[in-house]
Amino acid sequence: MAEQHTPRSLIVSFYGAYGRAPDESPVPVAALIRLLGVLGVDAPSVRSSVSRLKRRGLLLPGRTADGAAGYALSEDARRLLDDGDRRIYARTEPKLSEGWVLAVFSVPEAERHKRHLLRSRLARLGFGTAAPGVWIAPARLYEETRNALERLELSPYVDLFRGDHLGYTATAEAVARWWDLPAIAGLHEEFLAAHEPVLRAWRTAPAGAEDAYRDYLLALDSWRRLPYADPVLPAELLPDDWPGRRSAEVFTALHELLRDRGAEYVRPFLSEDTP
């Protein structure tokens, strides 16, 4: 399936890459429109998506030093992006000895809408299903999971445990039940099909700052979903031809090649009252 970059997702990716000013100053609306236009997003779509993000409490309206209308990240949005950074830019190889975190939940029937929210949130955090009401993930996801459940006021329904898998099924076989590995592999292959040729092109013939900005933001927007769909399991639990390591290498290389070059293109838009 071809990649889809929605305006709202691209705006979140933009703020993650270039919109977190240390002084928390807002990004001018006019700059957002110009910068998202490079990616093929028209002005009405930018304004509509910004309004939705504002309603969700992720963007806060404000004024730049020049008095231009703009939007800054809320505290919750900054925490979400900071949590995401730990996954998106992770370089360490996970070890089986680190163990697992279990989320065991029970939601009263009268609040079954929260049961759906819990399941969807755990899935988005990268948890697999070990049994009904029992979800599992690598132990390193504990802090992020705890923060997310508290932020959504779901912690009263959940108990979290740390531990090892002791059998009876071999852990590699159990992992293949807990997660849909072919579906996750397909996401990695899709990322590689879209962005590995971009990396080859940059290594062969580097282009300008605008191209770096565009190619990096598209790669980031594609990649930032993957560390959540894929919990990044230890290599010994995965098939020999697992594409996840290669896709991580491609994203890391694009990040190192393009992120700062793209910032050169973005910086003037954030430092002036863009017409």
Last residue of one domain, picked from the residues 116, 136, 163 = 163
Residues 158, 184: one domain? no
Q: Could you give the CA distance from residue 103 to residue 238 in angstroms, rounded to a whole number?
A: 22
- Is residue 72 a part of any domain in this protein? yes
Residues 49, 109: one domain? no
Total structural domains within the chain? 3
Q: Could you give the CA distance from residue 263 to residue 72 in angstroms, rounded to a whole number?
A: 18
**What's this model's pTM, rounded to 2 decimal places?**
0.86
Distances (CA, A) of 220 to 188, 224, 248: 13, 6, 11
Top-confidence residue, 258 or 119: 258
Distances (CA, A) of 258 to 11, 113, 217: 18, 42, 9
The boundaries of the domain holding residue 128 are 100-163
Q: What is the mean pLDDT of the chain?
A: 89
pLDDT score recorded for residue 56: 92
- Is residue 93 a part of any domain in this protein? no
- Is residue 219 a part of any domain in this protein? yes
Top-confidence residue, 167 or 144: 144
Last residue of one domain, picked from the residues 52, 80, 108 = 80
**DSSP letters of 41-95?**
--HHHHHHHHHHHHHTTSEEEEE-TT--EEEEE-HHHHHHHHHHHHHHT--PPP-
Residues 257, 223: one domain? yes
Tokens of 114: 């929260």
| Residue 188 three-state SS | helix
pLDDT score recorded for residue 158: 86
pLDDT score recorded for residue 275: 45
Average pLDDT rounded to a whole number, residues 148-165: 85
- Convert the pLDDT of each residue in 71-114 to its tens digit: 999 998 998 898 888 888 877 778 888 899 999 988 777 777 78
- The residues, any chain, with a CB within 8 Å of residue 36's CB and separated by 6 or more, are 7, 10, 11, 14, 45, 46
- Is residue 21 a part of any domain in this protein? yes
